[in-house]
Structure 1
Amino acid sequence: MQLSETDIIKKNEIELTEVLSALWKGKWIIVLLSAIFAVASVFIALSIPNTYKASVMLSPVEDTDGGMLSNLKSEFGGLAAMAGVNLGGAKSNKSALALQVMQSRAFLNGFIEKYNLKPQIMATEGWDLATNTLIYKPNVYDTQQKKWIRDVDVPFKPEPDVQEVYEFFTSNNLTVVEEKEKGLVTVLITHYSPHLAKQMADNIVSEINDYMKSEAITEAEVKIEYLKQALAETSVADMQKIFYQLIEQQEQNKMLAQTQSQYVFKIIDPAILPIKKAGPKRALICLGITFLGALLAMGFVLFRYFVLNRR
């Protein structure tokens, strides 16, 4: 007798009670595999080294220029435009620019090279609390000869290049959080060594302030030189007045840059030596691996019951 389509569907339909019955019959397999994964998860979690996170909170330093320039623009704007002198447009935001510079490839690679951080970032796998020393990967970096020995495929070289270092550092070590509503910036550095994390957090803030200060001084000197040359080439009294005041403004900008140690960012909450680890979350790792083991075990039991046994 030929079965109808409805009968075929009912025949092949798997009821919930049958699934639960299959799981109950294979309960010892599920328990055993879950226990194996649980034990393995403990060893995996313990093998992952601790990481520490140092943070420094910053407040952007407000721009102090603009007042004299606004007065000049309102008083001599038309005359300056006729003479081809630009008295300025939109107000510059040096802190926003500094944020972009601080996360740029050129700045970060220069920072890493200056403090010789490449081996400490790219070749470490842990930190020894007792001796306060970094643990290096023996197949990556030779600490005795200070030489890169890692085995990589072409076009990579044993020593990481600037792009590789930049991508690794921004993905694993550096985090910049900007709170625009509060006007605050937090720089976080993560590393195996809490001491190195704090040093890098302190140094990167100092370096971005020094970098932006140097750029501002150089820019002011270039403008002063140009304005002095333009002053020597004009005989119009009003234009001379404009040039004198613009030169004075640039001299003030240069002086402010030279005298401000915290030129772009003011430290609100300095970095401290982190004592508590930031990671890894070992409890979550163990729970996740154990749960995965239980799912795989249940999948195996159901597959064996509904597929292999029926065949």
Structure 2
Amino acid sequence: MRQENKNEVLEIDLITHLKKLWLNKKLICSICITFFILGCIIAYSIPKTYKVEVTLSLESGQNGSNNNLAGMASILGIGSIGGSGQDAVNSTMFPDLIQSTPFILEMYNVKVTPLKLTQPISLSDYMDTQKKPWWSYVLGLPGKAIGGIISLFSSEKEINENRIIDPFRLTGEQNGKISAIKEALSASEDKKSGMTIVSATFQDPEVAATIADSAVVKLQEYIIDYRTRKAQEDCNYLEKLCKERKEEYYKAQKAYADFMDANRNVVLQRTQAEGTRLQNDMSIAFQIYSQVETQLQVARAKVQEAKPVFAIVEPATVPLGPSGPNNKIIIFFFIFLGFAGSSFWILFGKDLWTSIKK
């Protein structure tokens, strides 16, 4: 019986609320229309953006080639090389790497050609041309007024110096552009497939495609440079050492040849001993030069094997349509907000306000 009474009370309350809303349907409709107009203003004030995604897969050439390098080293008669095959840089670091300030500064002067322009401009100059919603200009008026006053007391030399990028000490304008580029660039990893998705979102489709492609290229250059740096340093050192040992061998060879030519018909024991010594020096120099040359060949192979392979699964293409904002969702949200707000006011707000006044 108690359960039936509760159900009846709930049904009565629900019917009462629905009747109350129906009696105030004109107020609800007017508020919904107002919020619909407000939603349209907000939705169409947000600039359109275009998003380009590039999908790539990183395949390390080092880990799978250590066996080949070890086999090559054993055939040539030198110690094992190739290390443990562990690498400090992998695809999980791409999101943090692409959001780092040094990486963004490399993108700062990338040349882009927006649809409305015929001449390419730098990305930093393009960021000044991106549109903003009208309310951002209203909210930024106090800051612009303060900046204008400060600019009156700053010299032309200081203004020119602000255009020079110092990563250690960025200006407010430079920091704002870098933050905007960081928001436009992103990278994520698909844990199932192990692929990396690099995305760029800008208000111009050509710029979005160009920056996405450039970001992937610079990302590849950074990873290749990082993974081959140690091997390349070893290779450069061995090339220098090989050149020195080659010169020493040629010098010992020339000394032995000159001595033998000068003492061709001499049979003195002292002369023979000196010839034997020079021949041994030449043989030792040749052995050292030969070993260093062998190590150099292996080091060159190690540099090549250490280079990672990037497979571009989905390249950058110019988008045909904008990716945002979704005007329908924004307008529907505002209509729902107007309906929910007006309903709450009719059902509970009036009584609550009356009780507060009393």
TM-score by length of 1: 0.66
Contact 1:29 1:301 in 2 (8 A): no
Mapping 1:111-130, distance limit 5 Å: 111-115=107-111, 116-121=122-127, 124-125=130-131
Task: Rate the CA distance shift 1:308–1:201 in 2: closer, same or farther, 3 A.
Answer: closer
Aligned to 1:306: 351
Shift of residue 59 of structure 1?
A: 2.6
Aligned counterparts of 2:352 and 2:21: Cα–Cα separation in 1: 14
For residue 265 of structure 1, report the CA deviation from its aligned partner: 1.9
Whether contact under 8 Å (1:98, 1:208) holds in the other structure is: no
Of residues 167, 171, 188 in structure 2, which corresponds to 1:177? 188
Larger radius of gyration: 2
Unaligned runs of 5+ in 1: 1-13, 127-135, 141-145, 149-154
SS in 2 for 1:202: helix
Cα shift readout 1:226-250 (whole Å, capped 9, x = no counterpart): 5578897xx9xx9999866553232
Partner of 1:105: 101
Q: How far has the Cα of 1:40 moved from its partner?
A: 1.5
Find the residue that maps to 1:54 and give its secondary structure: strand
1:160 maps to 174
State the Cα deviation string for residues 128-150 of structure 1 (Å, max 9, x = none): xxxxxxxx99988xxxxx999xx
Q: What corresponds to 1:38 in structure 2?
A: 36
CA deviations on 1:144-185 (whole Å, 9 max, x unpaired) are xx999xxxxxx9955132xx5444333x31232323433432
Call closer, same or farther: CA 1:216–1:304 in 2, change over 3 Å.
closer
- Which residue number corresponds to residue 152 of structure 1? none
SS at match of 1:301: helix
User: What amino acid is the match of 1:88?
Assistant: G
State the percentage of identical aligned residues: 22
Superposed displacement of residue 48, structure 1: 1.6
Alignment partners' CA distance in 1, 2:305 and 2:81: 23
Alpha-carbon separation, structure 2, partners of 1:101 and 1:267: 19
| Cα gap change, 1:239 to 1:52, in 2 (>3 Å) | same
Q: CA deviation at 1:210?
A: 2.9
Q: Deviations over 1:34-93 (max 9, x none)?
A: 1110121112212222111122222324405423443478899xx96xxxx986123437
Task: Quote the residue 1:196 is aligned against.
Answer: 207
Instruction: Give the Cα–Cα distance (whole angstroms) in 1 for the partners of residues 29 and 92 of structure 2.
Output: 57
Could you list the structure 1 runs, at least 4 aligned residues long, displaced by more than 6 angstroms after superposition: 72-76, 136-140, 228-232, 238-243
**Equivalent position of 2:67 in the other structure:** 67
Q: d(CA) in 2 for partners of 1:156 and 1:291? A: 44
2:304 is aligned with 1:290: no
Give the counterpart letter for 1:110 in structure 2.
Answer: E
Partner of 1:22: 20
Q: Is the 8 A contact 1:109 1:165 kept in 2?
A: no
Distance, in Å, in 2 between the alignment partners of 1:219 and 1:52 is: 40
The structure-2 alpha-carbon separation of the partners of 1:272 and 1:241, relative to structure 1 and needing over 3 Å to count, comes to same
SS in 2 for 1:278: coil
Q: Which amino acid aligns with 1:280?
A: P
Post-superposition offset of 1:16: 3.8
Tell me the distance in 2 between the aligned counterparts of 1:51 and 1:59.
Answer: 26
C-alpha deviation, 1:291, in angstroms: 0.4
Match of 2:84 among 86, 89, 102: 89
> Residue 70 of structure 1 aligns to which amino acid in structure 2?
A
Q: CA deviation at 1:290?
A: 0.7
Amino acid at match of 2:192: E
Structure 2 counterpart SS, 1:125: coil
Whose strand proportion is higher, 1 or 2? 1
In 2: Cα distance, 1:69 partner to 1:221 partner:
15
What SS does the corresponding residue of 1:159 show, helix, strand or coil? helix
- Letter of the 2:300 counterpart: E
Give the 3 Å change call, closer, same or farther, for CA 41–212 of structure 1 in structure 2.
same
* Cα distance in 2, alignment partners of residues 198 and 245 from structure 1: 46
Partner of 1:211: 222
1:271 CA drift (Å): 1.3
Aligned residues: 264
**Secondary structure, counterpart of 1:49 in structure 2:** coil
Deviates more, 1:200-209 or 1:88-97: 88-97
1 CA distance for matches of 2:16 and 2:227?
Answer: 76
- 1:278 Cα deviation from its structure 2 partner: 0.5
C-alpha change, 1:70 and 1:189, in structure 2 (3 Å) is same
**Closer/same/farther in 2, CA of residues 243 and 216 from structure 1, 3 Å limit:** farther
Q: Relative to structure 1, is the Cα distance of residues 256 and 88 closer, same or farther in structure 2, using a 3 angstrom cutoff?
A: closer
Deviation at 1:28, TM superposition (A): 1.7
* Cα distance, 1:22 vs structure 2: 3.0
- Between structures 1 and 2, the one with greater helix share: 2
